[in-house]
Structure 1
Amino acid sequence: MSFISSGCNSNPEAAEPQIIPVKLQKAETITIVDSSEFVGTLKAGETVNLTAPINGRIVKILVNKRQRVTRGNPIMHLESEEQSQNLNLALIEASSQGSQLKITQADVKKMEAEKDRFAVGLEQIKAEIRNLEAEIELAQRNLNQSEFLVQSGALAQKDLHEQTEELENKLVELDTKNKALKRVQDSLQIAENQVKQARLNLARQKTAVASSQIKLSSIGQKKISKRLSAPITGMLGYFRVNVGDYVRIGQQVTTITPNDTLEMTLKIPVTYSSKLKNGLSVEIINSDETLGVKGKISSISANIEQQNQTIPTKITFRNNGSLRDEQFVRVRVIWDQQPGFLIPMTAVANLGEQKFVFVAEKEKSEDGNPMLVAKQKSVTVAGIQDRAYQITSGVESGDSIVLSRIFELFDGTPISEDYVNSQQTIKN
């Protein structure tokens, strides 16, 4: 089906149809992915409490908080000491500096979390703007096409008015999104400056702690040493004590969480219930939009949460060392994968509800010479990926897809390949 069916020309001296130069690109089969994005928090296994083995002072912490350790790794050194007045004063100072360090570390963590929240929000708004810009681009092409059809009498003026109004609404929505983007960018900048200042404060406090530790270690005492080691492999939590603190047997000093495997529970809308099944692949989306650790759906609740009409679904990931307990991540659930093609949105046209492309094919002219013509082919679009349409049928591998000037073409229009532009397209 062409935009306008060409009528018979009774003039025998009518000029031969113009040959239109176009850009071409070979269609190559790829894997088309049907997926949906969600956000959630990773959870590790049951946490083990690490406790002091003796009554004494913590003189050295050998690892960092949130560090991965293996079974048997030394965590800290403790010493049982004979107290003296000077030692008590030094211990009080070290404890005070350590407490202030905790407060400063908490401030840094809080500000970093706020900054990360703004960063996630910024990426989400950017994604919405990209999708909206693609919709506006498509709506503008459809409007251009409809104006041509209205002029030709093939489309009612009412339909053109509706498309114009739809495009204007999308432009207003885009303006609103861009303003929201600016607000989030400003908030993110403020949060980043606050994080920088908090880190400077943390560095100064660490220096103060180090100074108090040096003073404490300079006081000679009769000591009994004990090393505390990791009983299992996992991720350390936050320390509840600092160097210089006095602890008693059995007092908790930190935690270790086994994190070789992490889980996440997603609330999947019931609209996806027909696609949802155990074993589906799930991929983490990194902050730079690359794909990270892969996991699978491991269990699906038999009950629906009535209030929000969602299905609790558990995802399991094998940790490669990059994931953390309580980490907030974006993921995509892959519903289906099938072979298909990615064709630029500008190379796909609409006629009513049907989408089609032009494919360059060789034919013989009336005088028997070979010629290249544009053949119109209906295609099935599964979705949008990387600013291109996912085509699942209507195109075959190796087809030469027309990328330019498609609104000047009809089914059977003679064409020639614009070699310069075509080579650039392939190079890109």
Structure 2
Amino acid sequence: MQRTLALTLTAATLLAGCGKPKPQAPKLLSVKTARIAEANFQPSIEAISVLESTTTVSLRPETDGRVVKVLASDGERVKAGQPILVLDNVQQSAALDSAKAQARTDKLNAERYEFLYQNGAASAKQRDQYVTQAIASRDQALADAATLGYKYVRSPIDGVVGDLDSVKLGDYVQTGQAITGIVNNSTLWTLMQIPATQSGAVKIGQTVKVSSQTDPPITGEGTVSFISPYFGISGSSGSPNALMVKATFPNLTNELKTGQFVKSQIIVGNKQSLAVPVQAVFMQAQQPFVYVTVPVSKALPKIKASASVPEKQKKKLESLPPSTQIVVQRAVELGELQNNFYPLKSGLNKGDTVVVSKTALLSNGIPVKSVN
């Protein structure tokens, strides 16, 4: 009888225990976090600008004539002095040959009369007459050579030949007519229009970074080499309230081209600042905020004192282990975004931990678990 009663009491105790399950730990939202630390920031002025070669010329003949030879082609790399076109030059070649022959004859006569003068067989007047004639003949040959040289349209610089389709064999060209361009892209200018409000920060020698609008971008780096002494003039191609700034840089890859538009950045400073990842920042009414993770034990006193937090939520937070991390919304003041980080002006301290994922799912007081 006693044994039966003991078994009954044991069974009753087990049944009572099953009716009161142990409280389960709350399920925490998993988030990624980042610690606030210092980073190097380089404030810059940005502009979309056009590239221009520091060495580019229009190829123009120095005399009239008909094209008898085309010695280069579009896109060909040429050296300074290399002929590009040859104009008809039969008369000029004949004139030069005649002038050279006359110059040789007059030189021999001058040398002969110098010998005769030295030996007393000719007067000084005769010698001087032939010497003068030899000098005149030599100069005429040089002049005729120059005239013939104008019939060879040569590249004045090392570079690449532009479009030559406008001139073909047999075409008649005139003095000063633009035939094509010769461009040397080894060194380029980027021509930037800087707003007047930012012009005071620009200095000669500052670093300028350029990147093309291609994918992937082509990059380059140079320095400010010219700052216009005046702002743009109304009615000109530039803005009347902008300053022309030139930067010179080597085109190391030779992939950037004259006339190409690029994004230019003038680096106007260099400073250390606390950095906030762009993924941590969200906006409310044009005010940037972040979510900071803190132990519930640290945040609880303020939460209890807050009239805006419901009592139910306060009790829920009180029941959490003291080390549980919760998120707290915090307003921040930030600088200009650079390389996916904002320089911090105020609102956070070094070492603070901010949430960088799932921020749209968060609100003040939500417990979280870092999965970094």
Q: CA deviation at 1:292?
A: 2.0
Q: Is 1:371 matched up with 2:312?
A: no
Query: 1:318 matched to which residue of 2?
Result: 250
How does 1:118-267 map onto structure 2 within 5 Å? Answer: 230-239=155-164, 241-245=167-171, 254-267=180-193
Write the deviation string for residues 285-311 of structure 1: whole angstroms up to 9, x where unpaired. Answer: 312263522233222233334643222
Larger CA deviation: 347-356 vs 47-56: 47-56
Q: Matched residues in 2 for 1:397 and 1:230: separation?
A: 63
Ranges in structure 2 where 5+ consecutive residues have no aligned partner:
1-22, 92-150, 235-239, 299-317
How does 1:14-413 map onto structure 2 within 5 Å? Answer: 20-27=28-35, 31-32=40-41, 34=43, 35-40=45-50, 42-45=52-55, 47=57, 49=59, 51=61, 57-65=67-75, 67-71=76-80, 75=84, 230-239=155-164, 241-245=167-171, 254-288=180-214, 290=217, 292-305=219-232, 307=234, 308-320=240-252, 321-339=254-272, 341=275, 343-344=277-278, 347-349=280-282, 355-361=288-294, 370-374=323-327, 376-384=329-337, 390-393=342-345, 394=348, 396=350, 399=353, 401-405=355-359, 408-410=362-364
What secondary structure is seen at the aligned counterpart in 1 of 2:231? coil
Q: Matched residues in 2 for 1:74 and 1:397: separation?
A: 69
Write the deviation string for residues 148-205 of structure 1: whole angstroms up to 9, x where unpaired. Answer: xxxxxxxxxxxxxxxxxxxxxxxxxxxxxxxxxxxxxxxxxxxxxxxxxxxxxxxxxx
Q: CA deviation at 1:251?
A: 8.3
Computed over aligned residues only, the root mean square deviation of the Cα atoms, in angstroms, reads 4.7
1:24/1:42 Cα in 2 relative to 1: closer, same or farther (>3 Å)?
Answer: same
1:56/1:71 Cα in 2 relative to 1: closer, same or farther (>3 Å)?
Answer: same
TM-score (norm 2): 0.51
Q: Which has the larger radius of gyration?
A: 2
Higher relative contact order (CA 8 A, sep 6+): 1
Q: Matched residues in 1 for 2:283 and 2:86: separation?
A: 73
Write the deviation string for residues 84-143 of structure 1: whole angstroms up to 9, x where unpaired. Answer: xxxxxxxxxxxxxxxxxxxxxxxxxxxxxxxxxxxxxxxxxxxxxxxxxxxxxxxxxxxx
What secondary structure is seen at the aligned counterpart in 2 of 1:232? coil
Q: CA deviation at 1:258?
A: 4.5
1:380/1:279 Cα in 2 relative to 1: closer, same or farther (>3 Å)?
Answer: farther
Q: CA deviation at 1:31?
A: 4.9
Q: CA deviation at 1:416?
A: 1.8
Is the 8 Å Cα contact of residues 342 and 385 (structure 1) preserved in structure 2? no
Q: CA deviation at 1:270?
A: 1.1
Q: Matched residues in 2 for 1:33 and 1:19: separation?
A: 43
User: Residue 372 of structure 1 aligns to which amino acid in structure 2?
Assistant: Q
Q: CA deviation at 1:371?
A: 3.2
1:398/1:30 Cα in 2 relative to 1: closer, same or farther (>3 Å)?
Answer: same
What secondary structure is seen at the aligned counterpart in 2 of 1:403? coil
Ranges in structure 1 where 5+ consecutive residues have no aligned partner:
1-14, 83-225, 423-428
What secondary structure is seen at the aligned counterpart in 2 of 1:235? strand
Equivalences, count: 258
What secondary structure is seen at the aligned counterpart in 2 of 1:278? coil
Q: Matched residues in 2 for 1:31 and 1:391: separation?
A: 9
Query: 2:148 matched to which residue of 1?
Result: none
Q: Matched residues in 1 for 2:175 and 2:343: separation?
A: 67
Write the deviation string for residues 233-257 of structure 1: whole angstroms up to 9, x where unpaired. Answer: 1233443522344679998754534
User: Residue 315 of structure 1 aligns to which amino acid in structure 2?
Assistant: A
Is the 8 Å Cα contact of residues 360 and 402 (structure 1) preserved in structure 2? no
Identity between Structure 1 and Structure 2 (%): 21
What secondary structure is seen at the aligned counterpart in 2 of 1:47? strand
1:404/1:257 Cα in 2 relative to 1: closer, same or farther (>3 Å)?
Answer: closer
Q: Matched residues in 2 for 1:402 and 1:330: separation?
A: 29
Q: Matched residues in 1 for 2:72 and 2:359: separation?
A: 67
Query: 2:104 matched to which residue of 1?
Result: none
Is the 8 Å Cα contact of residues 209 and 220 (structure 2) preserved in structure 1? yes
